[in-house]
Amino acid sequence: MAPSNSTAQPPATSQPRKGKLGPMARREARLALWMLAPTFLIVMGIVLFPLLANFWISVKPVTLSDLRPPTPVVSERVRGDFDIAGQEFEIQYRLRNSSRDGDITDVVLTDTLPAGITVTDPGDVCTVTGSEVRCALDGLPAGERTRLKMTAVADETFAANPVSPRDSEPTVTGTAENILTNSEFTLDNFARIFDSHEFWSVLWVTITYTVFGTLGALVLGLFAAQMLNKPFAGRSIIRGLFLFPYVAPVIAVAFTWVILLDPFNGTFNAILQRMNLADEGVNFFGQRDIPIDVFGLTIDFPLALATVIAFEAWRYFPLSFLFILARMQSISSDMYEAAEVDGATPLQQFWHISLPQLLGILSTLFLLRFIWTFNKFDDIFLLTGGAAGTRTLTVDVYEQGFALSNLGAGAAVAVAIFILLLVFAVFYFKFVHREDS
Amino acid sequence: MRIGTGLLLGLLTGLLWGTIAVALTGISLTLITGLPATPIISAGALGGAVNAAIIMLRAPADRTPGLYLVAFAGVIITMMLVSFGAPFSLAFSESSLIQAFGVGLIALAVTFANRAVLIDIQSGMLKRYKIDLVIVRTLKGFGFVFFSVIVILPFYVMVMTSLKNQQDLFLNPLDLSIDLTQGAASLFDSYVELFTKFNFGRFLLISTIVSVCTVLITLAFSIPGAYAVARLKFPGQTVLSSSILLIYLVPMIVLVIPLYAVFSQLGLRNTVVGLLIVYPATTVPVALYMLQGYFRGLPAELEEAGLMDGLSRIGVIWKITLPLALPALASVSLYVFMIAWNEFLFAFMFLDDPDIFTLSRGVVSLNSSEVPRQHLMAGAVIATVPILVIFLWFERFLVQGLTAGSVKG
A236 chain-B contacts, CB cut-off 8 A: 395
Interface size A-B, in CB pairs within 8 Å, comes to 313
- Which of A391, A401, A394, A371 has the alpha carbon at shortest distance from A285? A391
Q: Are A317 and A359 in contact (CB under 8 A)?
A: no
One DSSP character per residue, A144-173 reads -EEEEEEEEEE-HHHHHS---GGGSPPEEE
pLDDT values of chain A reduced to their tens digit, one per residue, 437 residues: 344 444 444 444 444 445 566 888 888 888 888 989 999 899 888 989 999 999 988 888 888 877 777 778 888 888 887 777 778 888 888 888 877 777 788 888 888 888 778 888 887 788 888 788 888 888 878 777 888 888 888 887 777 777 777 777 888 887 777 777 777 788 888 888 888 788 889 999 999 999 999 999 999 999 999 999 888 888 888 888 999 999 999 999 999 999 999 888 888 888 888 887 877 888 888 888 888 877 777 888 899 999 999 999 999 999 899 889 988 888 888 888 898 888 888 888 888 888 998 988 898 888 888 989 999 999 999 999 888 889 999 999 999 899 988 889 999 999 999 999 888 878 777 776 555 54
Query: Using one digit for the tens of pLDDT, what is the confidence trace for B322-377?
Result: 998 888 898 899 989 999 999 999 999 999 988 999 999 999 999 888 888 889 99
CA torsion sign for A257, A258, A261, A267 is negative
Ordered by where they begin, the domains of chain A are 70-176 (2.60.40.290), 189-436 (1.10.3720.10)
- Which of B183, B149, B164 has the alpha carbon at shortest distance from B34? B164
Distance CA A215, CA A313 (A): 8
E-strand spans in A220-305? 289-294, 297-302
pLDDT of residue B1: 67
Interface contact flag, A421 B251, Cβ < 8 Å: yes
Interface contact flag, B253 A414, Cβ < 8 Å: yes
Ordered by where they begin, the domains of chain B are 5-181 (no CATH), 192-404 (1.10.3720.10)
Interface contact flag, A377 B345, Cβ < 8 Å: yes
Query: Using one digit for the tens of pLDDT, what is the confidence trace for B215-259?
Result: 999 999 999 999 998 888 888 888 887 778 778 788 889 999 999
Mean pLDDT on B185-210: 90
Q: Strand A132-140 and strand A88-97: pairing? A: unpaired
What is the ipTM metric for this complex?
A: 0.91
Q: Are A271 and B27 in contact (CB under 8 A)?
A: yes
pLDDT of residue A13: 45
Q: Closest residue of B to A47, CA-based?
A: B255
Interface contact flag, A414 B342, Cβ < 8 Å: no
pLDDT of residue B234: 84
Closest-CA distance of chain B to residue A61, Å: 13
Interface contact flag, B246 A401, Cβ < 8 Å: no
Q: What is the pTM of this model?
A: 0.85
Q: Label residue B147 by pLDDT band (50, 70, 90).
A: very high
- Which of B357, B346, B359 has the alpha carbon at shortest distance from B259? B346
Nearest to A3 among B39, B308, B376 (CB): B308
pLDDT of residue A20: 64
Distance CA A205, CA A393 (A): 8
Q: Are B336 and B287 in contact (CB under 8 A)?
A: yes
Interface contact flag, B363 A251, Cβ < 8 Å: yes
Q: To the nearest whole number, what is the mean pLDDT of chain B?
A: 87
User: What are residue A118's phi and psi, to 5 degrees?
Assistant: -115, 135
The count of other CB atoms within 10 Å of the CB of residue A334 is 8
B153 chain-A contacts, CB cut-off 8 A: 260
